[in-house]
């Protein structure tokens, strides 16, 4: 039998809005001044979160990867390539 993690085991529920806001603010900063997942996790712990660093990384990775994929593939999905003759 394969182990399955239950959806309610994620501890970010209350802090997810704070994390989304922090990511939006960080997106406007220069790349060198953005906070890492570890720093965000430390700030969440200071706010009272008991979740693991993996939960923060998981929450960050999903929207970031979706935005990156949309940015890279966005134009090619909208306009099919038609070679010139």
Please name the residues in contact with 12: beta carbons below 8 A apart, sequence gap of 6 or more. Answer: 19, 44, 49, 51, 55, 56, 59
Count of alpha carbons within 13 Å of 77, Cβ hemisphere only? Answer: 6
CA angle, 10 then 59 then 12, to 5°: 35
How far apart are alpha carbons 55 and 61 in whole angstroms?
10
Q: How many CB atoms lie within 10 A of CB 49?
A: 19
pLDDT at 66 (0 to 100): 66
pTM exceeding the 0.75 threshold for the entire prediction: no
Q: What is the pLDDT of residues 56-85, one digit of tens each?
A: 888 888 766 666 656 655 544 444 555 666
């Amino acid at each position: 039998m394969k182990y399955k993690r239950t959806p309610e085991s994620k501890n970010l529920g209350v802090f997810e809005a704070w994390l989304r806001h922090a990511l939006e603010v960080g997106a406007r900063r220069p790349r060198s001044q953005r906070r890492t997942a570890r720093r965000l996790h430390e700030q969440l712990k200071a706010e009272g979160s008991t979740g693991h660093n993996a939960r923060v990384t998981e929450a960050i990775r999903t929207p970031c990867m979706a935005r990156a994929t949309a940015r890279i593939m966005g134009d090619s999905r909208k306009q099919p390539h038609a070679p010139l003759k």
